[in-house]
Structure 1
């Protein structure tokens, strides 16, 4: 037992160190593991051009076709109106363009912490946003629409009074319903597909979305309709966002004006808006579930299994090692170590995991000037959080070992370190193995949270498919089945390990 435990701990520690070094290079955890690009691990939305010159990073929320969405059927590249405009400007300026995908509500934070150099994501210019970021000249002006079920009669803003109305969090559509909060229920969600699904499920009466996006969803869902609202005279249109004082603002404005003058900008707009309604793969005539819409997307979704498992393994490994150290601190005779371990556990158990993830991902570049990869940030956040819980579990396992064994080891003159790692901890791990398995199972399921910072795990890929197909249930049911199978496999492997460890009983 002791030799097996030593080998296991040594191997896990070595692998953690290796993965930590790889992640710390800034090239991405999976780059060295698979030899591929960061697009696999940190989002299929992360792509780069092949030109020379300095690299600039564009932030976007690729779930808003035709402006930007992930082409899951063709390698997971981000495509759309905004992408073509950004690529054209970058080429003219001699920059190499890299695209970083994330939730829309996190784009401004990414600008402010300099995780990205600029943002293009159908972002409207508002006075409030201009207080914290700079904007280029406008490149397109859209119209708001009301999306609702057919024959609902919800075709004007007045008809929405007293209804449950949805808008995308952080969008200018929030302003369109700002005056209705006293008379109507306003629901704010991160993603447009979620708003559409709420309407179809009957939990929301209508949603305010942009015209081109509304067209796509209503075309794919015959039970929905949309009505174009009167233009807002204060609407300044869509523009490119930059950090305050960025030198890129003037450069982009100059090239944007040239594109307007020579007709190149209008040609890009015509290309993407002319394609609306011509992609028959997005048209759905069937009601209820129709898994045929996943044709061509299943392989893309399955790639997320590797990311989810790697993330879970690294987080569980780090959490176990750090949790074991914390548990030793808690039973130590050195008071400062006990105080530190107790305070650490209190903080990480007393604050939300999502908050810890955001702090590590967004605060690290701002405080330490290190652009931490999304997957590494997620692994650290989940590992640190898991360690707080595991430290109590491991401490309980250590305390459950018969005290007579410690006394015998001391009487034989066995050093404390040898006694702990060769006698006590192996028995403690055997006793708490079911609890450790439960923690791993929880990590597998909680890994879906990493999708909010752009890691292309199963949940993120399902969101991409939702945006591409304008349907939600089919992709969600598929990844739900995948998660369930992963948990069953993990539980089975844990059962085999537990039976092996109990052979000496």
Structure 2
């Protein structure tokens, strides 16, 4: 078992690590959400000059992508989009996971403390997006949104602008514009603060949305807020000079022309056709057109959860055996044993006491920034799930060992068994049977918890499904499909494990002489 696990990790490290190093010099790795049309979006082919998204068979396009292509061409490299959640963009840049951020990001004073910014490549305008048949469809100024439920994207200056609306009912910030559109369509909010290009995209995608340009009294903004710039690592003067040189060669006329072209080619205008028919026909259409994305996401989810559960259970068994070992006779060895025990206690408490999403950010981005350790995101995800599961399984195993009758330990000692032999031949077979239900629960939890790994750009089931939702604007239908897939996975795993439990119970009963 130990050899198999080590071999699996070695193979994964070889494959993923090799891919990462091979791409380092050939590609310009650009971070973006690929879900913020018309600045950036995800599509299934390379039409209209789209570029590949790392780790997937999909492509990204949009205004940001076309700017990235110009910068990459000037550097003699190929552009490669690293699809990253908004909150993970700056950590990805500072840790060296990407070379630059081109994601409709404003060079605010807070962000300048972490990264540097190029010259402006686009100037935006804040607007409101509301329901076309709602109470605020005829609003003309910010004052007209009194008492309205308004939100914005988390970590973006647009959310802070809500405070300028008198007596507004400010809602909690949301992770992306897809979530805001869904909330607006569902009536959870009355509107959200956006930028003109994104608002035009929403209008074009569905007649449910309407852009309010606030001509009679808009938001008060600074130039940094409405300017979009390329994010670069601190002190990277060479990269800064190259990027600014490329941007200087793009006139204002060309920028306007490029944005108009991008708005015309964005795929959002095809979504109304897909929304015809009843709910289940729409779900069927989504599955028929996007099943490869769902399949790939499901495969990654299963890969991470299966390996993570197996390795985590092995870690838990090893820790459980160690923590029940007798104290060494040699004082120095006993001291080392005690120190290592403290280390294990810290590991268990930390990983049981912190959310996996925080662990993912710290391990994936933190290790790269602090120690220069750059590992593939899928391998990092497997490592994170494994050690997280190991912390929980160690306590489950400890309880399973204590549940074994003490007389069996005493009998083994009387027969001259060492602690290792006692565990391997007598105790652990019983423990494995006793902890099987809890292990199954951990497996089910891991299948669902892989969804938080989207913060480190792992394209698991949730991330893949969310991409489909941003492409189709059919959020409820798409997430219904995602929920159904998760249910099928967890239901199947539960039934398989219950079957295994029954078989073990039957074998134990038969071998114990219960059948005559």
**Which of 16, 20, 28 is the aligned partner of 2:5?**
16
What's the CA shift for 1:441?
Answer: 0.7
Q: 1:109-124, aligned counterparts within 5 Å?
A: 109-124=91-106
Aligned-partner Cα distance in 1 for 2:88–2:233: 14
Shift of residue 58, structure 1, vs aligned partner: 1.1
1:102-501 matches, within 5 Å, as: 102-149=84-131, 150-153=133-136, 155=139, 156-180=141-165, 183-229=168-214, 230=218, 234-236=222-224, 237-246=227-236, 247-260=238-251, 265=255, 267-275=257-265, 279-282=269-272, 286=276, 289=279, 290-291=282-283, 292-334=285-327, 335-501=338-504
Tell me if structure 1 keeps the 8 A contact 2:146–2:166.
no
Quickly say closer, same or farther: Cα 1:457–1:323, change in 2 above 3 A. Answer: same
CA contact (8 A) 2:28 2:99 kept: yes
For the Cα contact (< 8 Å) 1:197–1:472, is it kept in 2?
A: yes
Question: How far apart in 2 are the matches of 1:337 and 1:53?
Answer: 41
1:237-265 deviation per Cα after TM superposition (whole angstroms, max 9, x unaligned): 2111101111211101112222338x765
Structure 1 residue 277 displacement after superposition: 8.0
Any idea what SS the aligned residue of 2:172 has?
A: strand
2:37 aligned with 1:65, yes or no?
Answer: yes
Distance 1:178 1:286 in 2: 39
User: In 2, distance between residues paired with 1:141 and 1:409?
Assistant: 77
Q: Alpha-carbon deviations, 1:96-145, whole Å to 9, x = none? A: 33321111122122222222211000112223322332211212222222
Give the SS at the match of 1:168.
coil
RMSD: 2.6
- Structure 1 counterpart SS, 2:28: strand
Correspondence for 1:85: 67
CA 1:329/1:181 → structure 2, altered by over 3 Å: closer, same or farther?
A: farther
C-alpha distance 108-287 of structure 1, shift in aligned 2 (>3 A): farther
> Quick one: distance in 2 between partners of 1:79 and 1:276?
8
- Is the contact made by 1:60 and 1:101 (CA closer than 8 Å) also made in structure 2? yes
Q: Secondary structure at the match of 1:59?
A: strand
Partner of 2:331: none
Rounded to whole Å, the distance in 2 between the matches of 1:451 and 1:425 is: 36
SS at match of 2:121: strand
TM score, norm. by length of structure 1? 0.87
How far residue 163 of structure 1 moved from its aligned partner, in angstroms, is: 2.5
Greater shift in the superposed pair: 411-420 or 462-471: 411-420
> SS at 1:348's partner residue?
helix
Higher relative contact order (CA 8 A, sep 6+): 1
Question: TM-score under structure 2 normalisation?
Answer: 0.85
Distance apart, 1:23 and its partner CA: 3.7
The Cα shift of 1:352 comes to 2.0
Taking the aligned partners of 2:461 and 2:25, their CA distance within structure 1 comes to 34
Q: Distance in 2 between matches of 1:363 and 1:277?
A: 36
Shift of 1:192: 0.5
For the residue of structure 1 that corresponds to 2:314, the secondary structure is helix
What is the deviation of 1:275? 2.6
Q: Residue 194 of structure 2: SS of its match in structure 1? A: strand
Q: Distance in 1 between matches of 2:205 and 2:307?
A: 40
1:443–1:181 distance in 2 versus 1, CA, 3 Å = farther
Indicate the residue corresponding to 2:335 in structure 1.
none
Cα 1:257/1:301, change in 2 over 3 Å: same
The 8 Å contact of residues 315 and 379 in structure 1, kept in 2 or not, is answered as: yes
| Structure 1 gap ranges (5+) | 1-9, 32-36, 39-46
